Structure 1
């Protein structure tokens, strides 16, 4: 008697940084839906890699779209990771959990106080016990040009002005706290800092591999114990004024060696590039630039879908 065929591996879709561009979000969602067989799409796990706000003009509409997905696609599993921009937005709205050791958020300002004047940290209503990144996010930076990105800053170091304006208030206004709907506040308050999945398949040159998957906005630090990092991220430990796994660059680029014992995919956005090397997946082709695409990757195939793809009907 022949054995039944193996079931198809479940589909996991990872969507890169959206940064306030609702048209890009709608287009990539439509392209994903058209690229994937209907029953597979409707039961897929969809992981959004963070940075929903800032730079683009439509943060409010982006969050409206994301909040509606679970009711529109009830059989899908949706995971919404926090990016560094989302953490800062939530910090300004006083939505982050307090430091577990009972210390005030103001303790976290000291390490970075040399940047306060240049970055014009927020000092308006509610600043006294605000996480450092909330103050930086809503601040008014004195330098107007970002030499790294070769763009003008939009209000703050985080380019947060468009987010304020999408809710109908001027950049840096404490009125944003009242302007953001409760549904959006809940979305931001519930964002996870890391997500783990077991038994995710990925097609490689050596065949299909069954892996653990860790999704985190920027990546995991190579020189810090992974268990320690995951513990901090799962607890959303806000005593840390700058969360390297959400905002780091070179320090979080590679997969920590201790994860090589069993195959582990690490998928991130954040880095403003598309980089696929072995099990390290970085999916952020757009980087919040108006003229660059939002990308997504489909596993196990590793097929890349962009909002700019023109697909046949």
Structure 2
């Protein structure tokens, strides 16, 4: 059973397209046209073209591509802002908000032609954003799933709360969790494939696989393929086997 996955995109359409080219190359080499491609969330923020990323993904889904798109914490923050400019995500530190420079919301707004962050009232920014962000994009963000299970792997954005069945996980844990999950070495019953916490390279920890390699900070966007218990990084030169630490 083959499954492809792509890490946190963060508004980098060019990197997303390059990752899909690597998957297309692997599909051709494997004579595969039907294995799903899972995008593990954080589609928006920080990068220059969040609008382009959402349009690309929607167009692929409308064509019938076997793509799965999961919700990340940045996607929920964007969606929440569009609904209510005073929205504060429960996973976010109290002193921050979505348009804080550390989070990259202003770059997302700019990709839709909404400028003046820091110089305008939040209500004005949100009102213009609601006019300029297509309804299809708003509906897409609001309807994203938070997990996808296939074969011997489960895909989520941030991780899971150890010891809690997948069906009982909270959305906030699935898109925000760090230390309780990252520090846990127990067998979760499936390989947990996630992003959210950037690493220098795709890293297999035995019970989890981190595929966020920092695209939101100017680094690479990685694509991988899983076949049973085997994991490979996709590169222009083909598959690179990944073994757990």
Q: TM-score scaled by structure 1?
A: 0.64
The equivalent residue for 2:181 is 252
Q: 1:38 to 1:112 in 2, by over 3 A?
A: closer
The equivalent residue for 2:108 is 163
For structure 1, the residue ranges without an aligned partner over 5 or more in a row are 1-9, 96-104, 120-135, 142-153, 201-210, 237-242
The equivalent residue for 1:27 is 18
The equivalent residue for 2:164 is 226
Calculate the aligned-residue CA RMSD, in Å: 2.7
Per the alignment, in what secondary structure is the counterpart of residue 188 of structure 1?
Answer: helix
Say which of 206, 210, 224 aligns to 1:282.
210
For structure 2, the residue ranges without an aligned partner over 5 or more in a row are 239-245
The equivalent residue for 1:11 is 2
Q: Deviations over 1:60-115 (max 9, x none)?
A: 0000100011233x2x43211111100111111229xxxxxxxxx78969x965x2
The yes-or-no answer on 1:194 pairing with 2:147 is: yes
| 1:277, distance to aligned residue in structure 2 (A) | 2.0
The structure having more radius of gyration, on CA atoms, is 1
Say which of 171, 191, 194 aligns to 1:268.
194
Matched residues in 1 for 2:184 and 2:93: separation? 28
The equivalent residue for 1:4 is none
Q: 1:276 to 1:258 in 2, by over 3 A?
A: closer
The equivalent residue for 1:78 is 67
Q: 1:30 to 1:107 in 2, by over 3 A?
A: closer
Number of aligned residues: 224
1:55-134 equivalences under 5 Å are 55-72=46-63, 74=64, 76-94=65-83, 113=94, 115=95, 119=96
Q: TM-score scaled by structure 2?
A: 0.81
